[in-house]
Structure formats: C-alpha cells, structure tokens
C-alpha cells in the first residue's frame, strides 16, 4: 500500500557482523527468545540488518480478517473479535501472512502506540470505535525501535508493561479495550547517547555489541556492494535471491526441529553456573540462555544441545545482564598500616593510574600541606595564572616553586543519579531529558484537557464530551455529532525537558588541600556528562581570591564547560559571598530572558568563606545572600559539600545548604550506585 | 516578480571547501547534505543563498504539491503514482530547484505537515496539509543554526533525509509522502555541538573560519561594497563566471553515472577510514560517493587519488572519533602518512606489474 516501498538490502549480502546476524536469526527461528538489543557505533549496518530480516522471516498462519493476526491454532490467545466469531459457531478462516516489522519512531505519541478513539468514525456514525495503534499491528510481529535509548520514558513504561503481559490494555479517552500484543522487541542504540534503563535492557532476550569492520578488504567489499545496490537495487536483490532463499529454508527447517531439541541436565547446570558467575539478577538470563541454546542447536541441525552451543549463546544472553563484581578489598593494606598518614596520597595514586586518558602528568598535584595553602592569600592575577599553567606543562619533574595557584587535573567521572526539578504548571518549549514539565509542544504524555487554545493539539475525547449535551439542538450535516469551535479542547501534555544548571565552583586554596579539587573536578565532569545526556544548558561561576567570575555564560556547549574546568586554577581565599552573589545575578538574568526555565544552582564548596564584600563577617554575609536566593522561589539550589570527614569537620556547607533551602549532598552521595534514590521526590 | 538580487556564488572570496561541498551536493544529492560549522560572518548563509541561483532546472508534475518527477515512478507521491498507473498523462512543467528555509522556531507541525483537526472534527474528514518537508522535496532544505533546533525536530529531519520519505504518524493519521531533499545546515559551535549521532547523518561537513590574508580581506570588502552599491551591475559582471559554474554542474551531473572507481582507490578509502579511526562504515560510503562526484565535477570519469584527497576533509572532519568534550579536528599528519603510504604502495604495485 505504500507507494514508495523501499527496496531492502538483502540480509545475506551484509558483510561481517556475524554476532548480530546470528542473534537476529535466532530470533527469527524462535520468537520466544524475547528480541534483541543491538548496541554499537553509528553506521554499522544495524538498521539495515533489522530491515533485511523481515524479508527472511517465514510466513505465519493467521485468522483471515483479524486485525491482530491471531493464530487460528492458539485458541487461548485469541482476540475478542475472533473469540466472538468462534462463539457464534463460525469457522475461523485461515490465511498465511508475512511477519511484519513495525517501526516505532522515537517521536511516536502515546496514542499512536497503544491506539486511540477513531474520531472520524465517531463523528460520522456516532459510535465509538477503537483505532489500532502500533502495538496492535505488531501482534505476532516485530517492533523495531531505532535509538531505543532516546525513547520517551512513558512510552518505555507502556512497552515494558505490554511486553510483560502480552496484552495491551487501553483505558483512555473514554474507551476501555484490550487486545493481544505479543511481539519481538528489536532495538538499536548508540551508548554514547545515554544508557537504557536496566528494566528495559533485561526485557531484551539477547544483546550484541557491533563494531565497524577493520579489515580493509572487507571494507572495500562493503562499499562495493552498497554501491552496486544503490545503482541497481532490483538487480542486486535478484542476484542475492538464491542465497536468501537458502537461508530462509534453513530457518524454516530449524524452526521445525526446534521442538525436538533436547537439553540435558548437565547443560542446564552449566547455564546456571554461567549465570551465577556473571552475577545476573533474576532468572530471566537462565531461561533465555536455555532456549537460545536449543535454538542454536536447531540452527546447526542437531537435536541435542552441546557445551559449545551454550558457550556460543552465553555471550549474547549475558553481556547486557552482567553486573559488576563488588569492589575488591583496598589494595596494599600492609603499606597503609605502616604509613597511615599517606593514606590519602595512596588513594590518589590509584586513581591516577586509572586515569590514563588524562595526558598531563599528575606529579604537580601532590599538593603542599593544607596549612600552607590555607594561609596564603590574594595573589591571584590573571596573567600569573596563565604563566603558571604554561609552566605546569613544561617542568614536570622539577619540584614546583611553592605556587599559590594550581591547575588540578580532572578526577575520574562517575555516573550521576537522577537530579531533577519538581513538577509545576508552567508550559515549556524545548526538549531534553531531565525534569518533567507541562509542555507546549506536541510530544509527551497526555495528562488532561483544557479549553485554552494553544497549539491545535486537540483532545478528541474531551471535545466530544463537551459537544455531547448540545447534540439535540444542533443541526447535523452528514455527521452524527456536530462539533463547534466552543467545544474544542486541547491536550495538556507532560514530558521531560532540559534544565539550566549553573555551577558555582569554589576554587579557593582550601579546595587544593588533600586533592579535593581533583575529586571535585571529577564530580563536576560527571555532572557535565550527565548534563550532556539530558540536554541541559549550563553555566559556570567560580570564586577565589577576592572575587567571583562568570567563567561560562549560559550555553548549550558542554564542551566549553569541560575545557574551562580543565583550566580552572585553584588558590587564594574563599569569597563565598561574592560567588553566591554572582550566581544570583546570572540566574536572575537568565530568568529574565527565559522565565519558564528555572535555573538550578549547583554550589560546590566546603562552605569556609573567609572574605566578604562589605563590612559584615564573611559567613554572615554569605548567609544573608543565601537567604535572598532562598526567597527567589524560581531558583532551586543544591549544595555539594567537598569537606572530607575527619577529626575536624566544620559542617559549614551543610549550614549553607540550610540557609539556601537547598538539597545537600556529599560528593560520594552523587554516585548513582551508592545511594538508593533519596531524590525520588524530586523527579 | 522583483526578487532581491542575491550575491553571486562565484564572487565569494575564498572558502573553497565550503563552495566545493555545496557544489558536490548539488551534483549528487545522494551525498546526504552538508553541515557548515563556523563563526559568525563567514559567508555561510550568503553561500547557501547564492547557490540557489546556480541550481539546475528540474522536471516536475505541475499540479503536485511535492513536485514529483514525472519520469520516475519509484519516487512519486501517492496521487501521482495512481494517476501514472491509470495510464494518465501527468501535466509537466520545468522549474528551478529551490532553497527552502527552515526557521529555528519551526514547530513540528510546520515541518512534517499537519492535519487540520478542527476541520476534521467539524466535517468528519481527515485532511492533511503538507509542511516544509513537502516543499523541500527535490530541493535544498536550509536550516540556519541547526544546533539550536529542537532535538526531536532534528530527529524527524534526519529520519526523513535518510529515508527520502516523510512519515506522519499521529492522532490517527498516518500519511507518507516523498521527501528527498539536500539538507544544508549551518551552526556556530560556540552555541553548542550537535549530537554525534546527528553529525554522522550529514554526509559532508566543513569548518570555516574568517580569512586571515589581508589582501583577500580587502577583496571581500571591495566586492561587498560593489555589490551593495549596484547589485544588478555586480551580478551582471559575474554572470559569465556563474554561467560557467552552472555548465560545470550540468556536465558533472551528466557524467556522474559513468564515473568509475578502481579497486585501488577503494582500498585507499578503506585504509583512510580505518587509520583515522572513524566509527562505522558510513564514512567509507560517503567518501566513495564524494570522490566520484568530485571526479565528475572535474570532468573526468575515473576517480583519481586527487579526487579523494580533495574530498577527504569534507567527509572525515565530523566523523573523527573524539572523547567527550574534545573539539573536532583531523590529525593531518596521520592522514598524509596514510595517503603517502598508499602512494608508495601504488608505486611498488605498478612496478611489479611492469616487471610481470
């Protein structure tokens, strides 16, 4: 029915990528394997392979005229429609059909996925009718999601729910309906763009990692074949038809053999052992591995699962379910006992070794004792900073001439747990992946309807409800329901958008003590990476010496933030109040420009302010400004305390957080895997 | 109609890479677009607008909103296809390829097209109103500041660009129409980068900077002044040059299909892609197409190493693997080494050949 049906590149003509091809074929043989997730860089034939697979799938038997492609043999899973026909004593007519590959575009709305009210029919005939969504079309077929990691969260929820139950239950827009929805989920993703939620990952039976082919000969062959295909698609397909047919037959015979394949107890034990070794959660891995092993045995034409089969599928099944082993006990315990005071440095060195991708030498990082830096003051001239940085690059081995300012390296990044703003009622444009908000665009979840006309995003159910009471008096022309402009309601939608994150970084001398700055920079880098994945806008204010400076005005360029972070020198006093004041200024200015997006201030400091702008004592002044920021409701704050736990903890940052009405974290609290979602209420 | 005169393409000083990239795309729309990265005031927009004047004429179905090609049944919209199948003569006309603007503030509706829902509710029928993508079919779609565009609109754009089809799936409408366009985007990297996934979908990419040679800068000012003083006269002065370019494009399009690429050149391309560490295989494919187009543009039907050399920057720049936050750049020395190494290889090869 589609006029420009695209010609599809043949599956057998794909070069290399054996694992991916095997995974797809296994799914074609045994649809109960639970689909496949293909992770990999761009341009590695991911999509090509999935689309090509459709042409290979054997035909299935379906009930003639059933919109859900019910299986006439499987009476337990019939849809209402077929069941009613059976009850009425009528025969279910059979026909065969190709297995369908249904695309689920990342931009798909919820109503297209689950289905919705057919308004055309409703208006013409005055009766509700369910219009099928993607899930209905995909029953007994394949749902293909390109860039599955970019899918809206609420669509992911629906998919998970339906995939688990095999039934799509629709309760929306005044209709309540359910139909069978069993499908193979095939997704592709590029991990650079952010990871998938573990629940969704686990739903995919198999997972493969694909990479570009590195052999020049094969690459040339790839280019040549693609060129030949582009020049004459039909001729190319015809040339590969025989191979395609062969593969198709092999799949069919493997399918038939599948039910006869045996798996011995030893093999099941082996599977259980492998799962345990990989520390997988739950039992889905074991079950999938067993059926995958049987499937591959059938593929090889055997009826008995061998050890080889199990090992071959283990990688496909376990790679995405594997969990990290708990960290080994701290290294070199004896040495630590001998020299307990060097503990800090030891740890840093371990970190340095890990941090091999940071090219600069870290010898300079070994900071002077804290007392020295703490006492130092106000010699921060910009020119000197530059010089200092240059020197840093050159004389790596000579001991530093007791500098007041240093440029610390950036510590290792870690994954950040979710930090988001509370929901409110403001409509926002734009996109992103952090906070939920009412959205002015037409993507997002339909939460309720409104009479306000904004973007022509009509809510049919509400519109019809509004029109219903007047039907008797309105004249009808060819339609069952007459709708007038006053009846029209629009949808209010909710989705995640990016935020504006303003980093307020303490770059004073005290931050240099005990390598704090390395760790702090690592934490900021992690937040920046997180900001990139959530498409946030960022800005950066740093304070040291006597003043605070806007290092980075609000921008989308996270790269710039990182560059500045690397160059950020540390040293001098702590003008905490000046930093807060500057941050307040930037946030206010941004609010004026873009009143809908509320800034989130992320203050990274130990809170030990020791310089004031006016005559008040530093800490008093800081608290005063903090109070002011607290009053501005649109600005949210978050304090990250970098003070290490020790004999002398001042807890000043915590006090500051109190004055700001801010959320308070220790650096370690930010790590996604160390804390149970204490920020849950912020989502 | 009195159109405001556009600055002639041929009169743009310098920016050879940019001009080359645009011409390549006009000759071969399968190169899937170009991304122009650069500072403000570097003739980005001027070049794209000027390109419009050089575009060749195309044959279209005169009453088709998508400007279908009356001779190519595989890319037609539904209506044209049905008519053609029914054996009806399609009314034809010739028009220039267009440059269709996509403003950054565009909503998804405007881009993919809309359903007139109010009408639909009142009359009970669905009516689709084509958007910018429909207009851009078989033309150039120009997105200024593409990095500021809403993410999901960029997704839609690239999806359509990749498939040549725009699919609208929402609110119970599912509608498809052809959308084969050349995507030209500009961006200022200071305002934030594009996601790598999106970068990769642009076939070519060029980084442009202001000209540093004082003599050339003076020339820029002079020409601009002359143009502003009397656009008609200025355009007339450059008409001959423009015509030459136009002719070059037409010839290149004619011979493009006959351009041949040898095994050796394919190996060189693969070698470059591997050594330079690009992700995936899209770079190879685009490099091959670009080299062929380059050969056509140079009036040859055999791809030479020079063609590859000339197009390699355009293809590789945005595909270099980089750590998060790194800036885009090509390791030129390495590239030279790869190409040089290949040279030696060729020589050795031809040697053995002669000896045999």
Q: What is the pLDDT of residues A417-473, one digit of tens each?
A: 555 555 555 555 445 555 555 555 556 666 677 777 666 677 777 777 777 777 777
Secondary structure (DSSP) of A159-184: HHHHHHHSEEEEEETTEEEEEE--EE
* B196 and B270 inside one domain: no
Does the pLDDT value for residue A14 go beyond 80? yes
Average pLDDT of chain B is 80
Across-strand partners of A497?
Answer: A435
Contact flag A458-B121 (C-beta cutoff 8 Å): yes
Specify whether A523 is located in the same domain as A491.
Answer: no
Considering the domain architecture, whether residues A595 and A640 belong to the same structural domain is answered as yes
Residues A479, A464: Cα–Cα separation, whole Å: 13
pLDDT for residue A358 is more than 50: no
Helices A18-29 and A233-258, packing angle to 10 deg? 60
**Domain end (from A178, A211, A244):** A211
Report the pLDDT value the prediction gives residue B251, as an integer from 0 to 100.
Answer: 92
Q: Which of these, A368, A402, A373, A384, lies nearest to A610 by C-alpha position? A: A373
**Is the CB of A266 inside 8 Å of chain B's CB atoms?**
no
The verdict on B149 and B292 lying in the same domain is: no
> What pLDDT was estimated at residue A300?
93
pTM score of the predicted model: 0.68
Query: Is A630 at the interface with chain B, CB within 8 A?
Result: no
Are B77 and A45 in contact (CB < 8 Å)?
Answer: no
**pLDDT beyond 50 at B121:** yes
The contacts of residue A631 (CB under 8 Å, 6+ apart) are none
Exposure string (b/e) for A643-664, b if CB count within 10 Å is 16 or more?
beeeeeeeebbbbbbebbebbb
Q: Is residue B40 part of a domain?
A: yes
Nearest-Cα residue of chain A relative to residue B192: A557
With CA atoms as reference, the chain B residue closest to A458 would be: B117
Rounded Cα distance between A201 and A205, Å, is 9
Residue B24: pLDDT band by 50, 70, 90 thresholds? Answer: very high
**Do A668 and A529 reside in the same domain of the chain?**
yes
- Phi, psi (5° rounding) for residue A571? 155, 160
Same domain as B323, residue B174 = no
- Local confidence band at B174 (pLDDT 50, 70, 90 cut-offs): low
- Together in a domain, B276 and B171: no
Please give the pLDDT value at position A78: 78
Q: Choose the final residue of a domain: B211, B237, B272.
A: B211
Pick from B119, B124, B125 the residue to mutate for testing the A interface (most A CBs within 10 Å). B124
Q: What local confidence, expressed as pLDDT, does residue B291 receive?
A: 93
A219/B274 touch (CB, cutoff 8 Å), yes or no: yes
Residue labelled with tokens 């950036």:
A410
Average pLDDT (A32-39) is 87
Better-predicted residue by pLDDT, B328 or A129: A129
3-state SS, one letter per residue, for B99-142:
EEEECCCCCHHHHHCEECHHHHHHHCCCCEECCHHHHCCCCEEE
Whole-Å CA distances, A285 to A91, A166, A282, A308, A346: 40, 19, 7, 18, 39
Q: Is the dihedral of CA A277, A280, A286, A288 positive or negative?
A: negative
Whether A367 is in a domain gets the answer no
* CATH number for position A20: 3.40.50.300
Contact B165/A455, CB-based, under 8 Å? no
Is residue A138 assigned to a domain? Answer: yes
Cα separation, A419 vs A408, whole angstroms: 26
Most confident of the ranges A270-274, A481-485, A668-672, B272-276:
A270-274
Same domain, A487 and A511: no
Helix (H) or strand (E) holding A522: helix A516-533
Looking at the domain assignment, is residue A391 inside a domain? no
Any CB–CB contact under 8 A between A213 and chain B? yes
- Do residues B189 and B102 share a domain? yes
Q: Which of A106, A214, A430 sits opposite B150 (nearest CB)?
A: A430
With an 8 Å Cβ cutoff, is B172 touching chain A? Answer: yes
A631-645, A658-672, B249-263: least confidently modelled range: A658-672
High-pLDDT (> 90) share of chain A, %: 10
Residues of B in contact with A458 (CB under 8 A): 117-118, 121, 171
Using CB atoms, which residue from B109, B266, B278 is nearest to A223? Answer: B266
Q: What is the DSSP letter of A146?
A: T
**CA–CA distance, A375 with A513 (Å, rounded to integer):** 12
Task: Give yes or no for residue A374 having a pLDDT over 70.
Answer: no
Looking at the structure, do residues A305 and A171 belong to the same domain, yes or no?
A: no
Which residues in chain B have Cβ-Cβ distances shorter than 8 Å to A212?
Answer: 278-281
Interface test with A, best of B121, B288, B315 (most A CBs within 10 A): B121
Is B304 within 8 Å of B346 (Cβ atoms)? no
CB A521 within 8 A of CB A409: yes
- B23 Cβ contact list (under 8 Å, min separation 6): B245, B248, B249, B297
Strands annotated E in chain B:
34-38, 57-61, 92-96, 99-102, 114-115, 128-129, 140-143, 165-170, 173-178, 182-187, 204-208
| Together in a domain, B189 and B269 | no
Q: What are the pLDDT digits (tens) for A71-90?
A: 877 777 777 778 888 888 87
The confidence score (pLDDT) of residue A181 equals 85
- Which tokens sit at A69? 């492609």
Mean pLDDT over B1-17 rounds to 78
Chain B residues with CB-CB distance to A484 below 8 A: 122
A452 — contact with chain B (CB < 8 Å)? no
Select the highest-mean-pLDDT range: A27-36, A565-574, B341-350.
A27-36
Question: Under DSSP, is residue A482 helix (H, G, I), strand (E, B) or coil?
Answer: coil
Above 70 in pLDDT, residue A496?
Answer: no
Q: How confident is the model at residue B273 (pLDDT cuts 50, 70, 90)?
A: confident
A504, A649: one domain: yes
**pLDDT at B344 > cutoff 60:** no
B80 neighbors B64 (Cβ within 8 angstroms): yes
- Is B138 a residue of the active site? no
Tokens standing for residue A526: 């992690």
Q: What is the pLDDT of residue A444?
A: 63
- At A346 the pLDDT is 44
Looking at the DSSP bridge assignments, the partners of residue A638 are A602, A663
What is the complex's ipTM, to 2 decimals?
0.74
Contacts A–B by Cβ distance under 8 A: 187
CATH number of A532's domain: 3.40.50.410
What average pLDDT does the segment A170-194 reach?
78
Whether A361 maps to a domain, the answer reads: no
Tell me how close the Cα of B13 comes to any Cα of chain A, in angstroms: 30
Note whether B161 and B49 are same-domain residues.
yes
Alpha-carbon Rg of chain B, whole angstroms?
22
Among partner residues A118, A220, A463, which is closest to B270 by beta-carbon distance?
A220
Instruction: Read off the pLDDT band of A392 (50, 70, 90).
Output: very low
Three-state DSSP state, A100? coil
Q: Which residues of B touch A220 (CB under 8 A)?
A: 263, 266-267, 269-270
What is d(CA B191, CA A654) in angstroms, rounded to the nearest whole number? 35
Nearest CB partner across the interface for A443, out of B74, B114, B152: B152
Q: Check whether residue B206 and residue B269 sit in a common domain.
A: no
Cα-based angle B214, B219, B221 (whole degrees, multiple of 5): 95
Mean pLDDT of B251-280: 87
Mean pLDDT of all residues in A508-523: 77
Note whether residue A179 is domain-resident: yes
Range of the domain at B285: 263-355
Reading the block at residue A556, the tokens are 């989308």
The CATH code of the domain that includes B171 is 3.40.50.300
pLDDT at residue B296, rounded to an integer: 93
Number of Cβ within a 10 Å radius of residue B159: 21
Tokens of A186: 């095939």
On whether residue B315 sits in a domain, the answer given is yes
- Report the share of chain B in percent with pLDDT over 90: 15
Q: Computed over its alpha carbons, how large is the radius of gyration of chain A?
A: 31
Q: Is the pLDDT of residue A201 over 90?
A: no
Whether residue A202 is found in the same domain as residue A270? no
On whether residue B244 sits in a domain, the answer given is no
Residues A471 and A564 in one domain: no
- Are the beta carbons of B163 and A6 closer than 8 angstroms? yes
Same-domain pairing of A528 and A466: no
- Integer Cα distance of A174 and A463 in angstroms: 11
State pLDDT tens for residues A225-284: 988 888 888 889 899 999 999 999 999 899 899 989 989 999 999 999 998 888 887 788
Q: Quick one: A566 and A642 in the same domain?
A: yes
Are residue B205 and residue B300 in the same domain, yes or no? Answer: no
B297 Cα to chain A: minimum distance (Å): 19
How many other CB atoms sit within 10 Å of the CB of residue A81?
14
Q: Where is the domain boundary, A460, A480, A496?
A: A496
Residue A24 token pair: 């797809």
Q: What pLDDT, on a 0 to 100 scale, did the predictor assign at position A478?
A: 67
Confidence at A633, pLDDT banded by 50, 70, 90: confident
Question: Do residue A190 and residue B124 have CB atoms under 8 angstroms apart?
Answer: no
Question: Residues 265-324, chain B: which have Cβ within 8 Å of A?
Answer: 266-267, 269-271, 273-274, 278-285, 288, 323-324
* Alpha helix positions (H), A232-342: 233-258, 265-277, 284-299, 307-318, 333-338
Residue A375 in any domain: the answer is: no
Same domain, A104 and A205: yes
Q: What is the SS3 assignment for A600?
A: strand
Tell me whether residue A607 is in a domain: yes
Q: Could you say which of A192, A211, A230 is where a domain stops?
A: A211
In total, how many domains does chain A have?
4
- Residue B204 sits in the same domain as residue B275: no
Which residues, at least 6 apart from A378, have a Cβ–Cβ distance to it below 8 Å? A545, A546, A572, A573
Provide the CB-side half-sphere exposure for B353 (13 A, CA).
Answer: 6
Lowest mean pLDDT among A186-195, A334-343, A522-531, B173-182: A334-343
Point out the residue among B118, B193, B270 whose CB comes nearest to the CB of A488: B118
> Tell me, what CATH number does B335's domain have?
1.10.8.80
Nearest-by-CA chain A residue for B287: A223
Give the total number of structural domains in chain B: 2
Strands (E), A511-633: 537-544, 547-555, 569-570, 599-605
Range of the domain at A637: 499-682
Is A120's CB within 8 Å of B172's CB? yes
Instruction: Say how far residue A7 (Cα) sits from the centre of its chain.
Output: 32
Residues A590 and A477 in one domain: no
How far does B344 lie from chain A, in Å, by closest CA?
17
Which of A284, A302, A418, A465 is an active site residue? A284
Q: Which residue in B127, B154, B281 has the most chain A C-beta atoms within 10 A of its own C-beta, making it the best mutation to test that interface?
A: B281
Minimal C-alpha gap between B254 and chain A (Å): 15
Give the bridge partners for A503, in sequence order.
Answer: A540, A602
Tokens of B280: 């995936």
Query: Which residue, among B197, B178, B68, B113, has the nearest Cα to A6 in the 3D structure?
Result: B178
Q: Do A43 and B283 touch (CB under 8 A)?
A: yes
d(CA A516, CA A604): 11
Residue (of A443, A571, A459, A558) closest to A496 by Cα position: A443
Residue B15's pLDDT band (cuts 50, 70, 90): confident
In a domain, A89, yes or no: no
Band of pLDDT at residue A477, cut at 50, 70 and 90: low
- The pLDDT confidence band at residue B352, using thresholds 50, 70 and 90, is very low
Token pair 């030459």 is found at: B244
Residue B302 lies inside a defined structural domain of this protein: yes
Confidence (pLDDT) at B321: 63
Q: Of A565-579, B20-34, B272-286, B311-325, where does the model show the most confidence?
A: B20-34
What is the structure's pLDDT at B61? Answer: 86
Alpha carbon distance A509, A405 (integer Å): 8
Q: How far is residue A376 from each of residues A379, A401, A517, A618, measured CA to CA in Å?
A: 8, 14, 17, 17
Among B residues 42-71, those touching chain A with beta carbons less than 8 Å apart: none
């Amino acid at each position: 029915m589609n006029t420009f049906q695209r010609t599809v590149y043949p599956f057998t003509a794909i070069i290399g990528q054996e694992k991916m091809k095997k995974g797809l074929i296994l799914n074609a043989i045994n649809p109960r394997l639970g689909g496949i997730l293909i992770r990999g860089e761009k341009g590695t034939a991911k999509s090509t392979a999935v689309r090509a697979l459709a042409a290979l799938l054997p035909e299935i038997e379906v009930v003639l005229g059933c919109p859900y492609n019910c299986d006439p043999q499987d009476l337990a899973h019939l849809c209402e429609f077929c069941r009613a026909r059976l009850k009425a004593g009528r025969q279910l007519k059979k026909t065969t059909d190709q297995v369908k590959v249904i695309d689920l575009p990342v931009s798909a709305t919820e109503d297209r996925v689950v289905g919705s009210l057919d308004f055309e029919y409703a208006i013409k005939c005055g009766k509700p009718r369910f219009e099928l969504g993607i899930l209905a079309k995909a029953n007994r077929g394949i749902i293909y999601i390109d860039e599955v990691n970019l899918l809206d969260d609420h669509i992911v929820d629906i998919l998970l729910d339906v995939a688990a139950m095999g039934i799509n239950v629709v309760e929306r827009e005044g209709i309540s309906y359910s139909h069978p929805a069993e499908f193979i989920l095939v997704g592709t993703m590029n991990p650079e763009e952010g990871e998938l939620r573990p629940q969704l990952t686990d739903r995919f039976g198999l997972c493969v990692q694909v990479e570009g082919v590195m052999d020049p000969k094969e690459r040339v062959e790839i280019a040549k074949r693609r060129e030949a295909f582009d020049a004459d698609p039909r001729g190319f397909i015809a040339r590969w038809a025989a191979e395609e047919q062969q593969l198709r037959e092999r799949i069919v015979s493997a399918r038939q053999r599948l039910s006869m394949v045996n798996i011995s107890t030893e093999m099941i034990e082996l599977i259980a052992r492998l799962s345990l070794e990989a520390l997988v959660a739950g039992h889905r891995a074991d079950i999938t591995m067993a059926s995958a092993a049987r499937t591959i045995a059938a593929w090889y034409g055997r009826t008995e699962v061998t050890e080889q089969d199990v090992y071959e599928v283990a990688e496909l099944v376990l790679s995405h379910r594997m969990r990290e082993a708990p960290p080994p006990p701290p290294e070199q315990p004896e040495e630590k006992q001998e020299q307990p005071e060097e503990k800090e440095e030891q740890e840093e060195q371990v970190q340095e070794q890990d941090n091999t991708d940071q090219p600069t030498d870290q010898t300079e990082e070994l900071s002077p004792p804290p007392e020295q830096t703490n006492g130092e003051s106000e010699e921060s001239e910009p020119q000197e900073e530059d010089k200092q940085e240059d020197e840093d690059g050159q004389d790596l081995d000579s001991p530093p001439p007791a500098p007041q300012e240093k440029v610390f390296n950036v510590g290792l990044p870690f994954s950040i747990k979710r930090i988001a703003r509370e929901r409110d009622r403001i409509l926002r444009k734009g996109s992103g992946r952090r906070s939920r908000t009412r959205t002015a665009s037409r993507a997002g979840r339909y939460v309720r309807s409104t009479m306000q006309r904004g973007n022509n995003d009509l809510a049919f159910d509400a519109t019809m409800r509004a029109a219903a009471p007047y039907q008797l008096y309105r004249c009808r022309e060819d339609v069952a329901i007459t709708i007038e402009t006053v009846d029209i309601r629009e949808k209010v939608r909710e989705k995640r958008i990016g935020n504006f994150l303003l980093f307020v970084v303490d770059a004073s001398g005290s931050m240099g003590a005990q390598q704090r700055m390395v760790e702090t920079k690592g934490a900021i880098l992690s937040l920046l990476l997180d900001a990139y994945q959530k498409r946030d806008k960022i800005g950066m204010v740093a304070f040291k010496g006597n003043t605070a400076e806007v290092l980075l005005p609000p921008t989308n360029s996270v790269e710039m933030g990182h560059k500045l972070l690397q160059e950020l020198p540390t040293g001098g006093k702590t003008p905490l109040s000046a930093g807060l004041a500057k941050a307040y200024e930037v946030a206010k200015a941004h609010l004026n420009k873009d009143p809908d997006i509320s800034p989130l201030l992320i203050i990274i400091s130990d809170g030990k302010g020791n310089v004031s702008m006016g005559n008040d004592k530093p800490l008093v002044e800081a608290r005063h400004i903090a109070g002011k920021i607290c009053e501005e409701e649109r600005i949210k704050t978050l304090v990250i305390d970098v003070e290490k736990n020790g004999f002398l903890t001042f807890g000043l940052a915590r006090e500051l957080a109190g004055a700001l009405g801010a959320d308070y974290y220790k650096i370690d609290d930010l790590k996604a895997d160390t804390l149970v979602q204490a920020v849950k209420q912020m989502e | 109609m009195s159109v405001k005169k556009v600055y002639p393409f041929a009169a743009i000083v310098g920016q050879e890479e940019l001009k080359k990239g645009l011409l390549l795309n006009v000759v071969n729309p399968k190169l899937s677009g170009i991304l122009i990265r650069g500072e403000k005031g570097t003739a980005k927009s001027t070049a794209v607008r000027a390109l419009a004047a050089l575009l060749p004429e195309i044959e279209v179905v005169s009453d088709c909103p998508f400007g279908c090609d009356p001779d190519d049944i595989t890319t037609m919209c539904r209506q044209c296809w049905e008519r053609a199948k029914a054996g009806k003569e399609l009314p034809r006309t010739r028009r220039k390829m267009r440059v269709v603007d996509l403003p950054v503030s565009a909503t998804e509706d405007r881009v993919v097209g809309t359903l007139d829902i109010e009408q639909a509710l009142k009359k009970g029928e669905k009516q689709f109103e084509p958007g910018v993508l429909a207009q851009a079919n078989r033309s150039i779609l120009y997105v200024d500041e593409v990095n500021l565009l809403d993410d999901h609109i960029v997704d839609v754009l690239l999806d359509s660009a990749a498939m040549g089809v725009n699919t609208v799936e929402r609110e119970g409408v599912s509608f498809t129409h052809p959308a084969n366009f050349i995507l030209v985007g500009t961006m200022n990297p200071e305002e934030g980068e594009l996601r790598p996934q999106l970068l990769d979908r642009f076939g070519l990419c060029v980084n442009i900077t202001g000209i540093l040679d004082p003599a050339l800068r003076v020339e820029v000012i002079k020409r601009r002044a002359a143009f502003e003083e009397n656009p008609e006269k200025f355009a007339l002065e450059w008409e001959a040059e423009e015509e030459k370019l136009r002719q070059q494009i037409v010839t290149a399009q004619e011979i493009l299909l006959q351009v041949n690429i040898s095994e050796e050149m394919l190996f060189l391309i693969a070698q470059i892609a591997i050594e330079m560490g690009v992700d995936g295989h899209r770079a190879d494919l685009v490099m091959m197409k670009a080299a062929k187009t380059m050969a056509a543009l140079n009036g040859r039907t055999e791809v030479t190493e020079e063609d590859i050399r000339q197009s390699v920057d355009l293809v590789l720049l945005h595909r270099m693997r980089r750590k998060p936050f790194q800036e885009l750049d090509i390791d030129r020395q390495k590239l030279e080494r790869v190409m040089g190494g290949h040279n030696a290889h060729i020589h050795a090869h031809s040697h053995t050949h002669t000896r045999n």
